[in-house]
Structure 1
């Protein structure tokens, strides 16, 4: 593991965000999304920054690949679809529910052992069908159930207690925290509780990008490589049918990417290039176009990213504008 100094602790302050996306209607900027963006190169150096990349923030579910690495390091015997599901914010499709049950069954557990919050499925169509059938919120349907099942499985296989697996002092969560610090290369700035009930560790946007790069570039057979391979090969298990995360991984060869609530996205390529994005107001409509612009800034071919340019704004039922990354995010001109 890398050594960490106190100086590597993210700064706890109000983030100094900058404009990252414009809502342009009829050629006029109608609204502005603020946020922060970091692009790191193959050598790990920062190649581009916008806003505040060193302030402490909550990565939310964008940290799930790191949590999955921690569990694999602790002996979680998953690969393929089920390991992708362990790092997922899933849509609540039947394959996600069935996969979560399979993870639990590996340790002789059931859905009754889950301690995440009950919820309806994340995908709107799946959620509507669920409600029409008279079904109620459940822990299995909640989008983090795959991660929680994997946490329980890891704890059971290590002989750790199960009822308190979400306690930050639990051996499982201590292992997760150590992995967060190892992969981000910095101290955790704070610990709180994520929406699902699991501990949530505050890092910097820069640290999140570093962690993604570490996972995306790891050698064969490592915990990091197992997680990256699982998510790349089974992106719909890490998200869902029609989700932008899965579409982005399928569009860009070798890309590893994960979203998080409140406008977070991280992405990394096998050569170590990585980007991380935080939209200050949590707006999902700015998250993907800004991420695509950051990837283009990192050198991803623009033709691979044309489907992620941002939603159109309608007027009278016809397009009159769009959500656009700010000009500062335009790709650098190619050298002649």
Structure 2
């Protein structure tokens, strides 16, 4: 009988442990491997699962740090428009109007956007967009708030707007400085994100540390302004029905941001930070794992309403048979471990 040898992954992520399982009628049907890092208010790891020091691409989970760099460059962003600069938005009217408002505040329009044209992220908004005869555009794409904010920063600082996505551009160099400052480590690699902007690689620990620092930042500081905008305008951060919007709305002081390829980052008001990376890139397990760690960290333990929201977020990862619930995605993270 012929045999085939398998090549092992050269990435540490290839050796990540199982952090969730998919159960159908009591039978484990699938498993998800992942990396989880929970840091204390000093940025030290209090819970580490998997290769937490290995570089990952946080993707859109880095947007709050990118927004912080925009503020340091002088971008005139406040309130809901600052939250939108942190967003992977759903493409609702408030999101598109907000992106246009950011551009108009510095004398630009959506023709200046260089993010990849796309349809709205939300399925209902996408259907309406197509029904109205629209095609993919940059302003409808979920990163248009970030790109509008980057352009506003460039105008404020007197930097070239035509090359704002170039890794060597002053704005992108400032983003690297901010990311390295908040994560406490050097950027391991620079790649291209789905929207065309640079994507930076840092470790899971660094990502958790950064979110804890932003969440605990003093009001009035640039980092504090970012955190306050995310908390005050969670619908601009995500959209109607989005898990990140509902989590930020439910838990006082919490900030959170989802990222492509199954990344989730959370910061708590006391300075603790959490990052979750599901290594297969599928999204169905990341919130379930995150909520398990948050419960272990004490979130919702004494507040039935918060506990209800966490349970409701978990329930979205339902397994169905003939349209009926027959199972769920279940985290294998020990809730008491933190």
Shorter-chain TM-score tier: over 0.9
Q: Distance in 1 between matches of 2:24 and 2:71?
A: 48
After TM superposition, the runs of 4+ consecutive aligned structure 1 residues lying more than 4 A away are none
Matched ranges for 1:167-178 at <5 A: 167-178=166-177
- Tell me if 1:315 matches 2:314: no
- Paired residue secondary structure (2:235): coil
Match of 1:329 among 328, 334, 338: 334
Q: Distance in 2 between matches of 1:160 and 1:301?
A: 45
Shift of 1:288: 0.8
Shift of 1:330: 2.4
Shift of 1:101: 0.7
Shift of 1:182: 0.4
**Correspondence for 1:195:** 194
Q: Distance in 1 between matches of 2:335 and 2:293?
A: 8
Deviations 1:79-136 (A, max 9, x none): 1000000111001111111111110011100100111110000001000111111110
User: Does the 8 A contact of 1:119 with 1:138 survive in 2?
Assistant: yes
**Correspondence for 1:8:** none
**Greater CA deviation, 106-115 or 289-298?**
289-298
- Paired residue secondary structure (1:329): coil
Q: Distance in 2 between matches of 1:290 and 1:330?
A: 10
- Paired residue secondary structure (2:21): strand
Shift of 1:314: 1.6
**Greater CA deviation, 254-263 or 45-54?**
45-54
Matched ranges for 1:223-302 at <5 A: 223-302=222-301
How many residues of Structure 1 are paired with residues of Structure 2 in the alignment? 321
Shift of 1:230: 0.2
Deviations 1:25-78 (A, max 9, x none): 121211001111111123322111111111111000000000001111111121
Matched ranges for 1:101-116 at <5 A: 101-116=100-115
CA RMSD of aligned residues (A): 1.3
TM-score (norm 2): 0.92
Structure 1: gaps spanning 5 or more residues: 1-11
User: Does the 8 A contact of 1:273 with 1:298 survive in 2?
Assistant: no
Structure 2: gaps spanning 5 or more residues: 1-9
- Paired residue secondary structure (1:284): coil
Deviations 1:201-256 (A, max 9, x none): 10001000011011011112111000000000001101111101000111111110
